[in-house]
Structure 1
Amino acid sequence: MTLPAQFKKENSENIFIYHYVEEMIADYTKYVKETFDDSDITVAELPFLIRIRFSEETTQKELVELFRVSEGYTAKLLRKFEEKGYLTRCEDPTNRRKKIVELTSRGIEKTDELIELINGWEIKVTKNMSDEEVKTLKSLLFKVVEP
């Protein structure tokens, strides 16, 4: 990662967490654009498939709330993923207005590729850390985001 000049080891405790997150997102986005060549999915769309993969059961409405995007955008994106054969949407038997979103086998294959991509980036950015430090980092990040 190439850091801005204000990022110095001697003042690392005084840098806002926001700035660290911003740099990590920028580096991840650059990594994905350089590594992942797929005309089917944009960088902005990747998180949707990954979240669906790791959700036991999710609905279209939950995705709207999770990503804080419009219902129209989510419906359009899910329709695109359906057309590509990555997922299906079906009515919830207990509430016909709800649409349950599930990956197909092709969607699982696609998310396997995405998981490899994410893992590659994690290995890249933690290469100077021990396994224990990575474990500690993930534990601390969980504390940051837990409700």
Structure 2
Amino acid sequence: MDEEYHQAIRDNSPFIAWIHNISLNQQKYMKTKFSKLDLGHDVRYIMYIYDNPNCSQDDLVNMFGQSKGNIAKILRKLEDKGFIERQTNPENRRKYMLNTTDKGHELVPKFRKISKEWEMEVGITDEDIELKKRIKEIALNGMKLIEEG
């Protein structure tokens, strides 16, 4: 890798910039592997819905820090492409429960497999469990800070 390419990654760069860089590069890699699906990073919403059956749009807003309008637009796109479905919540008819379709169920294991391959290629190993726990803790603290603000 040439010097110009990685000049942006400096010792004095903010920690969050490194995390953002890792996330963007992983998204770019995954996009090349799933280019025919034209999902980009929207696959993360499918994964969340897959892992959290009957979740709501508000759950996605809270998890990903996106506006309700932006999440609604993404959900419409994913629904139109056949990856998710919305069902009226019987306990609150103004809200929807989100679930993956068969097409979404097929995508997630494939995505996870390639994502794991990417992690191995960039040097994220099973031994990094403490690092993963700490980054998750930081993410949760950030969400709490916003909620309390």
- For residues 142 and 41 of structure 1, do their structure 2 counterparts lie closer, same or farther at Cα, with a shift above 3 Å needed? same
Once residues 83 and 19 of structure 1 are traced to their aligned partners in structure 2, the CA distance between those partners, rounded to angstroms, is 34
Identical amino acids, percent of aligned pairs? 28
Based on CA coordinates, which of the two structures has the bigger radius of gyration? Answer: 1
Q: Distance in 2 between matches of 1:72 and 1:62?
A: 14
What residue number does 2:117 align with? Answer: 120
Q: Distance in 2 between matches of 1:21 and 1:35?
A: 21
Unaligned runs of 5+ residues in structure 2 are: 142-149
Give matches, 1:18-33, under 5 Å: 18-33=16-31
Cα distance in 2 between the residues matched to 1:73 and 1:19: 23
* TM-score, structure 1 as length reference: 0.76
AA of the residue aligned to 1:146: L
Equivalent position to 2:107, from 106, 110, 113: 110
CA gap of 1:37–1:6, structure 2 versus 1, over 3 A, is: closer
* 1:137 and 2:134 correspond: no
* Contiguous gaps of at least 5 residues in structure 1: none
- Give 1:83 shift: 2.6
Counterpart among 53, 71, 76 of residue 73 in structure 2: 76
Amino acid at match of 1:140: R
Q: Is the 8 A contact 1:64 1:74 kept in 2?
A: yes
Matched, 1:50 2:44: no
**What is the Cα-based RMSD across aligned positions, in Å?**
2.5
Q: How many residues align?
A: 138
How far off its partner does 1:140 sit?
A: 2.2
Q: Point out the structure with the larger helix share.
A: 2
1:100 aligns with 2:97: yes
Aligned-partner SS, 1:58: coil
